């Protein structure tokens, strides 16, 4: 994870000067970002906050994945953002999706593959979850362990679901005070939703979670025949 102490912040998207408001996005990129956040779903015709398409664990998300800007943002998140940038994205997600702290007892995350986390020096889902937890004044509680080594990029939804159920495990060191609680499960992007669906099932079946809701930055628009039910 990179650490930035520069002020004003450098734009996280284009790398040029940021806006006078000290946000980590310059005025031009902020305009582009606003357009991305209001992009309409090709299935239901509604923007992200109002999208009514079925999603696993009632996933809240900030923008649809697929456009060049959305791919650029997720690439940046995966390869390294600083705390100010993570906090900026967390604030946008909370405000856009209407996430309320009163609905949860704790925040958790889908852990990254250890090899990839070592390569980039951080776990992007953990950093996003940490920023969300701080913003919501909720504890961040690691609840899952990942042991699978394979990437899921080329897997279908059904293959991802089977793989995730075998690759993620509930931790056995979750503090007793966080057993049978309501969790907000965080990841960077939902491609098919299979990983979120599997992780939510693992947390419920293990008794750690009484309820699991998910939140991601980006959500891939599925064809009607691909929507998880």
According to the model, what pLDDT value does residue 158 have?
A: 66
Cα distance between residue 101 and residue 16, in whole Å = 34
* Assigned fold of 55-220: Rossmann fold (3.40.50)
Tokens describing residue 91: 């604030």
Percent of the chain with pLDDT strictly greater than 70 = 83
What is the tens place of the pLDDT at every residue in 19-65? Answer: 666 788 988 999 999 999 999 998 899 999 898 888 877 899 999 99
Cα distance between residue 200 and residue 211, in whole Å = 8
pLDDT greater than 90 at residue 127: yes
What is the tens place of the pLDDT at every residue in 79-105? Answer: 988 999 999 999 999 999 999 999 999
CB count in 10 Å sphere of residue 145: 14
According to the model, what pLDDT value does residue 194 have?
A: 85
Torsion of CA 200, 90, 219, 121, to 10 degrees: -80
According to the model, what pLDDT value does residue 16 have?
A: 80
According to the model, what pLDDT value does residue 156 have?
A: 58
| pTM recorded for the entire structure | 0.87
Q: What DSSP assignment string belongs to 156-174? A: -HHHHHHHHHHHEEE-S--
């Amino acid at each position: 994870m990179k650490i930035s102490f520069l002020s004003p912040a450098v734009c996280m998207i284009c790398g040029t000067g940021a806006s006078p408001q000290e946000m980590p996005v310059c005025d031009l990129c902020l305009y582009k970002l606003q357009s991305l956040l209001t992009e309409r779903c090709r299935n239901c015709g509604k923007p992200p906050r109002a999208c009514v398409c079925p999603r696993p664990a009632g996933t809240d998300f900030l923008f649809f994945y697929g456009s060049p800007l959305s791919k650029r943002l997720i690439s940046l998140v995966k390869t390294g953002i600083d705390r100010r940038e993570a906090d900026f994205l967390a604030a946008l997600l909370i405000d856009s999706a209407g996430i309320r702290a009163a609905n949860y007892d704790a925040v958790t995350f889908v852990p990254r593959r250890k090899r990839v986390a070592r390569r980039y020096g951080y776990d992007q889902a953990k950093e996003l979850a940490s920023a969300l937890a701080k913003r919501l004044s909720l504890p961040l509680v690691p609840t899952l362990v990942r042991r699978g080594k394979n990437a899921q990029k080329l897997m279908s939804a059904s293959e991802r679901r089977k793989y995730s159920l075998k690759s993620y495990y509930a931790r056995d060191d979750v503090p007793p005070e966080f057993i049978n609680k309501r969790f907000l499960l965080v990841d960077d992007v939902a491609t098919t939703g299979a990983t979120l669906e599997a992780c939510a099932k693992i947390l419920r079946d293990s008794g750690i979670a009484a309820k699991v809701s998910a939140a991601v930055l980006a959500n891939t628009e599925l064809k009607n025949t691909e929507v998880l039910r």
